Amino acid sequence: LVATRGQEIFVQSGRDLLRIDEHSHSRKIPLPAITQATIHATETTIFVAGRLGSEWVVSSLERSTLTSRWSRKLPIAEGDHAIWLTPQSAEVVTLAISGLRTRIYGITAGTGVTRWLYRLPELQGRQVILGRPVVAKNGALIVAAESIYALSAEGHLLWRSAPFGVRLVATCANGTIFASDGHHLWELDGAGAIRTVYRSFEHGRDHFSQLVVGNGEVVLRGVSEIRVFRISGITAARTPVAFARDPL
């Protein structure tokens, strides 16, 4: 697992965290023997989360020294199968857990204390796979779990879209949210209003598995096809400006 920040690269592998600077100098520190790990780097902190025995563990390390600030353990519920770690603000880091009891913890970034817990009520008791949450321009945490949920830094639901099978989500600098179910590309504004940008007519499988936004473009990536849409203002062009059928 890899996270980047500025000119530094952070790699989590097994029991080690490796920091590599712009001169290719590296430093390694030991970590607990976690599995299903996820890592995220901010300007001052490295957050690492994963499974340790019968618990989820979230750890915070000082970025400059790689010394531990705090470590927090959370119970694993029956049906839990994946986690996503996302710093939402300078004060809050979120841990989204998907499974039969899909839920999101808001954890104080400086101390590891739980500030809030949000359970997605419509999904309780159903096996749900969360997409990687992202943070919108207004600071809302955007979660893709069949519907799109927007949560404030205090854990309050700001809005929820109608369910449309979404599992990929990304945001751009102007506040627009893009989402996909593997066949469609949708555009949402900051209040959750949806517009269809593109529909793939490939059937029988999830055609696109990655959604990336950056450099004024929205990219849908699949095994046999890549489609790129140019962003103009708060809308995306309906006609791809680049197209490839070669495998990634």
Task: Give all domains of the chain, ordered by start, each with its CATH number.
Answer: 164-248 (2.40.10.480)
Distance of CA 62 to the CA centre of its chain: 22
Q: What is the pLDDT of residue 230?
A: 82
- 241: pLDDT strictly greater than 50: no
- How do residues 13-69 score in pLDDT, each as one tens digit? 767 888 888 888 888 888 777 888 888 888 888 899 989 888 999 999 888 888 889
Output the six-digit token pair for 26: 């590296």
The pTM of this model reads 0.81
CB 177 within 8 A of CB 159: no
Mean pLDDT calculated for residue range 222-239: 65
- How do residues 87-143 score in pLDDT, each as one tens digit? 999 899 999 998 889 999 999 999 999 999 999 888 888 887 788 899 988 899 999
Contacts of residue 106, defined as CB under 8 A and 6 or more positions apart, other chains included, come to 88, 92, 93, 94, 114, 115, 116, 117, 118, 153, 154, 155
Give the whole-angstrom CA distance, residue 171 versus residue 162: 19
Q: How confident is the model at residue 245 (pLDDT cuts 50, 70, 90)?
A: very low
CB 45 within 8 A of CB 62: yes
**Mean pLDDT (the chain, rounded):** 83
- 229: pLDDT strictly greater than 60: yes
Q: What is the pLDDT of residue 18?
A: 81
Output the six-digit token pair for 84: 């996503």
What would the DSSP string read from start to end of 71-102? EEEEEPPTT--EEEEEE-SSSEEEEEEESTT-
CB 55 within 8 A of CB 105: no
Mean pLDDT calculated for residue range 212-226: 83
For 190, which DSSP code?
T
Give the whole-angstrom CA distance, residue 137 versus residue 128: 26
Mean pLDDT calculated for residue range 227-234: 71
Task: Print burial letters for 29-41: b (CB count within 10 Å at least 16), e (below 16).
Answer: eebeebeebbbbb
Kindly state the percentage of the chain with pLDDT values over 90.
Answer: 29
Q: What is the pLDDT of residue 234?
A: 40
How many other C-beta atoms are found inside a 10 Å radius of the C-beta of residue 15?
12
